[in-house]
Amino acid sequence: MQKPSLPRGTRDFGPEPMSKRLFLLETIRQTFRRYGFQPIETPALENLSVLMGKYGEEGDQLLFKILNSGDFSSGLSEADWQENARKLTLKISEKGLRYDLTVPFARYVVMNRHALTMPFKRYQIQPVWRADRPQKGRYREFVQCDADVVGTDSLLCEAEIVLMLHESLRNLGIQDFTVKINNRKILTGIAEVVGAEGQEGQLAVAIDKLDKIGQGKVVEELKQRGFSDESIDKLTPMFQFPDQSQAAFSQLRSWLATSDVGLKGVAELEEVWQLVEQYGLNDARMELDVTLARGLSYYTGAIFEVKANGVQIGSISGGGRYDNLTGAFGMPGLSGVGISLGVDRIYDVMEELNLFPETGLQSTQVLVVHLEAGARALGLPLLSQLRLQNVAAEAYPDSAKVKKQLDYANAKHIPYVVLIGSEELQTGQLTLRNMVTGEQEKLTAGQIVERLTRA
């Protein structure tokens, strides 16, 4: 007999973790709605022509490709089998699992552009798949929560993203976090002033690993990528920025004085800081981080990354401004900006910090216990009345001893139990027991419905 197993990097979720996940998702969903975002969904499968080339070389390697249906190898020659993996894959696979929600969203916008009101604000909560090496906080299948605005280049959108991040995390109980922000124009400016113009992509891939491998290893990788010693020496200010935002902006303006595009990036970030201040955000957890690059190749303006402090987990959110993404699908000039919140990593943070409310585990509010068969004549109508009042209620389906039924209620964190036996059948007064305090009282069915509706 074959032993059942799961693919590495994937998980099952039972009732308790699902209750927590639904609490997390609904909290984020409510925040998105308050900012005027509308929900959409896209298929798990996308054509590889949609996905390839949007995430950089490393991202393309992490795409899950799906073999063509039927005899996928028909028509292939011996020479085809000798080709490199990339070329061969494109001949035997036309579809793949989505890597993120942003590229499918861009495809959706282009295909539905005549039906959308611009600017279009959407949120999307669905699983994505990446052929990554599984480790703590990193899975091959995970859920993302995305919020994007397309059809405007206003920096007000960046400021509202900062506000949404603060509101979402604080509503989940995560108080100690940092919203790191950079701008791709600044990275382009840095490449110019260090004499590596046009190599900002290679620079971004290397410095994006700074938190993981440290400055020394980043320098080694830059050398391997063809950066001269002179250019690397000129990068020294990147690793020595002051923590205070205004001082950092001042140092940036001085360092990038000869780069128009770099100075434009600085000006954009300063405006975001000013707008957030005008919104009146209390205790803003914003940090300018010029080493923040993010490897995705489609960001053209602001870049966001959120870290939960005090826990050994990677970034829990990221995103940025993309001016050219829809251009790949025949719709140039449509600017957009968005963020993605990593549900699984946020879940792990909340578990580690014990932030989930106990009430989130209560799927049922009251259990009706029939102590004898005739009790169902009172218990079943009571169940219907409770459910009509939106009170989650259930009955233990089997004939069993009282202890077993009460143990069932405790195991499911059910706070109330209604006991119906011979005495209750005679008097019409049912016994309502509070499973938390142990207190119980005699009430009519109507009184129980009224009491639990208020609970």
Answer yes or no: is 146 a known binding residue: no
Residue keyed to tokens 């639904």: 22
- Does the pLDDT at position 261 exceed 90? yes
For residues 453 and 79, the model is more confident at 453
pLDDT band at 186 (very low <50, low <70, confident <90, very high): very high
pLDDT of 361 reads: 60
Q: What is the percent of the chain with per-residue pLDDT over 90, rounded to a whole number?
A: 58
pLDDT band at 153 (very low <50, low <70, confident <90, very high): very high
Answer yes or no: is 55 a known binding residue: no
Answer yes or no: is 359 a known binding residue: no
pLDDT band at 296 (very low <50, low <70, confident <90, very high): low
pLDDT band at 72 (very low <50, low <70, confident <90, very high): low
Contacts of 280 (CB under 8 A, 6+ apart): none
Rounded mean pLDDT of 67-82?
67
- Helix-strand-coil split of the chain, %, nearest 5: 45, 20, 35
Output the CA torsion sign for 82, 84, 85, 90: negative
- Does the pLDDT at position 182 exceed 70? yes
Whether 15-63+99-352 and 362-454 share one fold: the answer is no
Answer yes or no: is 101 a known binding residue: yes
Answer yes or no: is 298 a known binding residue: yes
193 near 256, Cβ under 8 Å?
yes
pLDDT of 85 reads: 61
- CA dihedral in degrees (220, 225, 227, 232; nearest 10)? -30
Angle, vertex CA 94, rays to CA 92 and CA 98, nearest 5 = 125
Least confident of 80-94, 231-245, 376-390: 80-94
**What global pTM score does this model have?**
0.83
Closest CA to 293 of 218, 219, 235, 207: 207
Phi, psi (5° rounding) for residue 241? -90, 145
Q: Which amino acid is at 80?
A: D
Q: What is the mean pLDDT of the chain?
A: 88
Please report the beta strands in 33-132, taking only residues with DSSP state E, as ranges in sequence order.
38-39, 45-47, 65-67, 93-97, 120-129
Q: In the chain, what are the domain boundaries?
A: 15-63+99-352, 362-454
Answer yes or no: is 102 a known binding residue: yes
For residues 362 and 441, the model is more confident at 441
pLDDT of 427 reads: 93
Rounded mean pLDDT of 62-85?
71
Q: How far apart are CA 433 and CA 417, in angstroms?
A: 5
Contacts of 50 (CB under 8 A, 6+ apart): 103, 104, 107, 329
Answer yes or no: is 253 a known binding residue: no
pLDDT of 205 reads: 78
Answer yes or no: is 326 a known binding residue: no
CATH top class, domain 362-454: alpha beta
Answer yes or no: is 285 a known binding residue: no
Q: How far apart are CA 121 and CA 157, in angstroms?
A: 10
Rounded mean pLDDT of 124-144?
89
The CATH number assigned to the domain with range 15-63+99-352 reads: 3.30.930.10
Q: How far apart are CA 369 and CA 364, in angstroms?
A: 14
